[in-house]
Structure formats: structure tokens, C-alpha cells
Amino acid sequence: MYLNNPLKGRRFVYYNFLVKKQRPDVLVCVLKTKRDKEILLEEKWYRIPLEHAPRRKPKFLAFYQPAVFKDSGEKIELYGHIKYWRLKKRKEILPGEKNHPRADKLYLQFFLGRISKLRKPVLNSGRVRISFGFTSLPKLRRAGNIRGLFDIPPMDNILAAMLTKNKIPFKREFVVKRKNAKIYRLDFALGGSPKPIDVECDGYRWHSRKQQRIKDKLRDEELKKLGWKIIRISEEDLLKKPRNVLKKIKKTFSL
């Protein structure tokens, strides 16, 4: 079911994370900047580009705060009930940013009631890459961590155990500095090879969407220019074909 007119008939990209016996009516969003958080708390609205809008209308929005928020980052602690929404161009929503590259793009502007704080924040201790995703309100209130919120298998722990068992040296969350002063945080950096090897765990929920695949490709190209070999491991292969995964890793060492 699509959101009401004028959106009827449009095609949206969305992720519907099914939760047994619980309606997934909470859309998890990202507060990219501190200014976005100020707008949320002071004006009680949040915007989503139309191209990334969910197909179904959520009842609640929950807000993930990335590492830019420092001590209060990498967690979900705020959520709110949606009162109503409207479709506007970005420059209409943010008139002070009329020269923004996306000024003429359409956005959904969601207006919320009271912004509530979770008794227990949902932590991203496993540094899962966060995008828009649905969950349920009971799960949001009790999950405690992102993996529990979305039922994500602990791929990184499974792979770490495999590497340790086969005596393959590695470092988790290895930081690579880029030319523009930004960083890449690698899931696993393997040692013992002539060239450094980056192993990425691609969970289906986060890496199946087209936009994320494009980002992954650009990231891999830049890392290759910096001398890295890249191995991407899918959630399905790691869970169902672990021997093939290990074989692939060992083969890359010999290249």
C-alpha cells in the first residue's frame, strides 16, 4: 500500500524487516548532523528524500545518531509518533539553503508529536551500517542493540571465530585514512599477505539496495588504489557455505 496522494503510483525503495507477531511500524532514520537533531527537537520534523521514501506509511520514526555525535553517537535514543506529512522541495523546507545541490529535489517532511527518549538506548556496538529500515515499537523499546532490533546475524563474530581457528591474523574495525582526511573503517584487515587484505561482511539488509552497492563499489575502487585487496562476503555464504568463504580468503593470500 502506497502513501496517500500525491504519492500514489510512485515506486519507492524501502526495507521491510519482518518481525514475527509484531507490526513493523517504526521507521529507523539517521540524524546526519547536529543541526538535524536541533530541528527535530525544536521544530519536531524530519525529512526523507522522496527517492528513499518507504512504501508503507510508518506510525513512528526512530532516530539513529552516527559517530559525528561523539559521546551520544552510534545509538538510537529518540523516537516520535508521526502526526502528518507533506511533500515539498528541499528549498521550501530549508529556505536558508536554496543553493544546496538538492534544493529542487522532492522530500517527505514528517511532522511529529512529542519526541520521546528510550529508557535504554539501542546501541550499535557492532558498528552495523545503518540505513532506513522498519522494526516494531516493542523491539525498539527492548532491543538494546542494533542487531537485536533488526534480527541481524552476528556475521563479524562468526568470521572472527573462523579466522582465529585457522590462525589467520586480523584486526577488526581497522581505520584507513583517505586523501580527503576522511576515513574508511574496515570490517577486517588481514595480515600475513604481501598486500593488505580488507574483508567486508555484507549483510543482506544493508547491502542489497542499489544505492549501497554503488557506494560499496566506489569505496572498493578507492581502497584498491591505496593498495588493498578486497574480499566481500555475503551473509548467505558465511552462514551456509563457510568452507567456500575460507577457501576464498586463503586463495586471495596467494594472489
- At residue 255 the predicted structure's pLDDT band, cuts being 50, 70 and 90, is low
Q: Which residue has the cell 557506494?
A: 215
User: How far is 152 from 147, CA to CA, in rounded Å?
Assistant: 5
Please return the burial class of 50, using the count of CB atoms within 10 Å of its CB with bins 0-12, 13-18 and 19+. middle
- Closest C-alpha to 193, from 224, 177, 223, 169: 169
Q: Is the peptide bond before 153 cis (omega within 30 degrees of 0)?
A: no
Say what percent of the chain tops pLDDT 90. Answer: 56
* 75 C-beta neighbours (distance < 10 Å), count: 20
Which DSSP helix (H) or strand (E) runs through 246?
helix 242-254
Q: Which residue has the cell 545541490?
A: 101
When the pLDDT of each residue in the chain is averaged and rounded to a whole number, the result is 85
Which DSSP helix (H) or strand (E) runs through 244?
helix 242-254
For the chain, give the longest Cα–Cα distance.
58
Q: Does the predicted model carry a pTM greater than 0.75?
A: no
Residue 38 gets which letter from DSSP? H
Residue 52 gets which letter from DSSP? G
Q: How does pLDDT run across 204-237, given as a tens digit for each residue?
A: 655 556 677 888 889 999 999 999 999 999 888 9
Are 197 and 170 in contact by the 8 Å Cβ rule? The answer is no
Rounded alpha-carbon distances, angstroms, from residue 248 to 2, 179, 231:
42, 30, 8
- At residue 152 the predicted structure's pLDDT band, cuts being 50, 70 and 90, is confident
Q: How does pLDDT run across 60-117, given as a tens digit for each residue?
A: 999 999 988 988 899 999 999 999 999 999 999 999 999 999 999 999 999 999 999 9
Cell numbers found for residue 88: 515539498
Domains and their CATH numbers in the chain: 26-150 (2.30.130), 155-254 (3.40.960.10)
User: How far is 100 from 164, CA to CA, in rounded Å?
Assistant: 48
